[in-house]
Amino acid sequence: MEETANIEQREEGDAGQAELSMEERLAVAEAQAAEYLDGWQRARAEFANARKRLERERSEAYFNAAADIARRLLPVLDDYDRALQAVPPAIATDGWFDGIQLVRRKLQQMLEGMNVTPIAAVGEPFDPNFHEALAMQPTDEYDSGIVTQELQVGYKMGDRVIRPSLVNVAQ
């Protein structure tokens, strides 16, 4: 019974199609093809945009994870630097001290491999994007607004600051 209804519907559709001229059917087919093409192009553009957005988000997530690791390692590097500056001369000649310096160099190289670089500070104009001012110092050596002393080294990863330099600025 269902088959008979389907056949009748097809015959009625075919009869309706027969009433249309070939030009009209061509125009309908071309309009339908244009609609399908437009839909396909939109879907393709949406897919390309989604792929770009996903790639950008993946890259941002990678950068944030790497920056977080670097931020966690910077205090270790600071501690090494402070320890190496305070080494008594008697210890500085021991062979194991060379090993300590080697570990510090490896840590520095690892950070450099992650594109982590120190921010220039002393003698540079104060820039709140790179420096955090802790005090203003009167001085004749530097012009006003110039960094006079770096209390903690700042670092950037690529173009982004991951830790600003803590500085004193000339008054």
Between strands 165-170 and 131-137, the pairing is parallel
3-state secondary structure 80-138: HHHHHHCCCHHHHCCHHHHHHHHHHHHHHHHHHHCCEEECCCCCCECCCCCEEEEEEEC
| Helix/strand/coil for 171 | coil
Q: Look up the pTM and report it.
A: 0.68
What pLDDT, on a 0 to 100 scale, did the predictor assign at position 94?
84
What pLDDT, on a 0 to 100 scale, did the predictor assign at position 18?
54
What pLDDT, on a 0 to 100 scale, did the predictor assign at position 29?
94
Contacts 24+ apart (CB under 8 A), 77-84: 77/104, 77/107, 77/108, 77/111, 78/152, 78/153, 80/104, 80/107, 81/153
pLDDT tens digits, the chain, 171 residues: what are they?
454 455 455 455 555 555 789 999 999 999 999 999 999 999 999 999 999 999 999 999 999 999 999 999 999 999 999 999 999 888 888 888 888 999 999 999 999 999 999 999 999 999 999 999 999 999 888 899 999 999 999 999 999 999 999 999 998
Q: Please give the torsion angle defined by the CA atoms of residues 37, 42, 43 and 49, in that order, rounded to the nearest 10 degrees.
A: 150
The token pair at 161 is 């600051």
